[in-house]
A and B are shown apart, each in its own frame.
Chain A
Amino acid sequence: MRSVVLALGGTVAGLTLLLSFKSHSAAPPGDPVAAAGMPATQGSPRPQGSPRPSAPAARSRATAGSSAAAATRTVTGDVDSTAYGPMQVQLTITGQKITKATVVQRTDSGEKSDQIDSFAIPRLIGETLAAQSGRIDAVSGATYTSSGYITSLQSALDKAAA
């Protein structure tokens, strides 16, 4: 059984999301040291941003998948009530690696919510992918439109480097 901790913290520049993925028995959810840890992948870069002891943390539960050791599982975090509204992160885990991170329940509509959707979510997804597949400099895919860029992985990389 694994646990997912989603820590949200405001920064001067904007919002930084920190995703932590750890063994359930290592530390209780919300532990700031555990929240600063990353997936147990050798040489993985750590996400940017700093954990806050006061950051809300969500206990998680496995919602789908089989019991096979290297099987692909989906883990969905509890709905987390944040200053920007309720949020929920879903991870797809193959063996020991996060292969996908998505926000399955977005924030309420509104100005601040738009900010979190367009800035934090692609950044979270991008950092998760980067942590799992090593450093990625650029992303190739079907040509996105100018607005499609906002949610693209390339946009996440550009923001991480800015």
Chain B
Amino acid sequence: MTAPAELRLPVSAPPRERLRHAEHVMGTVVSIDIPAAAARVLPEVLRWLHWVDATFSPYRDDSDVSRFGRGELSLAQCAPEFAEVLIECAIIRDQSDGYFTTMPGGRFDPSGLVKGWAIERAAAILNAAGFAGHCVNGGGDIQCSGEPQAGRPWRVGVTDPLRPGELAAVVSGRDFAVATSGTAERGAHIFNPHTGRAATGLAGITVVGPRLTAADAYATAAMAMGDAAREWAEHLDGYEAFATTTDGDTWQTSRFRARLS
């Protein structure tokens, strides 16, 4: 004898183990891949990203970056994180012989580093809450932590800058960052600060290493260098690079192969 239909309980779906969230912020979309249990930390992560947008956007007249650039705020009057970003920028500027600059268009704009730094800090919020298995992708710049499943590393596809929709490489690992700079999405928007002209030579470059703050800024600097980036990237400590030239050739640093999936 079967129970009356109205007494049957619905069969519940198994609980989802992973959660994906896509947030429009900082002029792009940040995709967040976290354990489902980390949902309670998500609001804090999103608040952080929007705070960074409001504080560091050069497109907002009332941001600290805009007001500092106009001389309306001293460094001490800016948010404490502002000095932290300036120090990171200064380090990369020195490491890149000035190819990374906070004055890319003649006015103060640390955007070449801020997004990577913001994503790295967002990942740190998740780590601090005890959720190591996450991947945060800020418009193509990625910080991965732990594993998506026990025993499986993260796998990150690198788009081919000259062939939309195709992947040029797949890198994998645990606790690593991947940043790509290139002309595929927004054209030749990176300038060589030493000539004042649009950077030439590279269609795209991907930098892989432990921290996204450095990887993002290194990728920006390497695009500005163009052909000279190959020799420079070979000597970066702990960071590897893969590049596609405007002619369609590719090159990689000697230890990049170890990052390939």
Contacts and interface: CB of A to CB of B under 8 A. Distances in A.
Nearest to A101: B165
B155 A139 contact: no
B185 A141 contact: yes
B160 to A, nearest CB: 9
A60 B37 CA distance: 46
Interface stretch (A33-41, A49-57, A79-87, A129-137): A129-137
B185 A145 contact: yes
A154 B137 contact: yes
A154 B180 CA distance: 14
Contacts of B135: 137-138
Q: Which of A129, A140, A143, A154 has the most CB of B within 10 A?
A: A140
Contacts of B156: 136-140
B161 A141 contact: yes
Contacts of B183: 142
B159 interface: yes
Interface residues of A, number: 31
B185 A143 contact: yes
Interface of B: 18, 20, 22, 24, 27-29, 31, 33, 115, 135, 137-142, 144, 148, 154-159, 161, 163, 165-167, 170, 178-186, 204, 206, 261
30 contacts: A100-B166, A102-B165, A125-B165, A133-B167, A136-B156, A137-B148, A138-B31, A138-B137, A139-B140, A140-B142, A141-B158, A141-B161, A141-B182, A141-B185, A142-B140, A142-B180, A142-B181, A142-B182, A142-B184, A142-B204, A143-B28, A143-B140, A144-B28, A145-B185, A148-B186, A149-B22, A149-B29, A153-B159, A154-B29, A161-B33
